[in-house]
Amino acid sequence: MDSSIFLARLLGPTMGSGLLVNRSTYRTLSLEVLDSRALLFIAGLIAFVAGLAIVLTHNVWVAGWPVIITIFGWASVFAGVVRIVFPALVA
């Protein structure tokens, strides 16, 4: 349970705060990333490594909120693989 709380505290502010405050900036950045295959590949590597780290340390399948972190980890692994293997499909 300690790892669940740690990851929730890490992911919550990281994912939410910037997006809520600077929505238009994030939209512009997202469009610029989609125009660059190199940035898509780097984003895929980062997403894959971050997701794999979550899955390796927190592969918890229980009824409750900790499963959300596990699902987020697996989604990040999948998104990273898709960006690395099929960058043209993402763009």
pLDDT for 88: 78
**What is the maximum span of the chain, computed from C-alpha positions, in angstroms?**
40
Domain count, the chain: 1
Predicted TM-score (pTM) of the model is 0.74
Q: Which domain holds residue 65?
A: 2-90
| pLDDT-based confidence at residue 7 (cuts at 50, 70, 90) | confident
How far is residue 6's CA from residue 3's CA, in Å, rounded to a whole number?
A: 5
Check pLDDT > 80 for residue 61. yes
First to last CA, the chain: 38
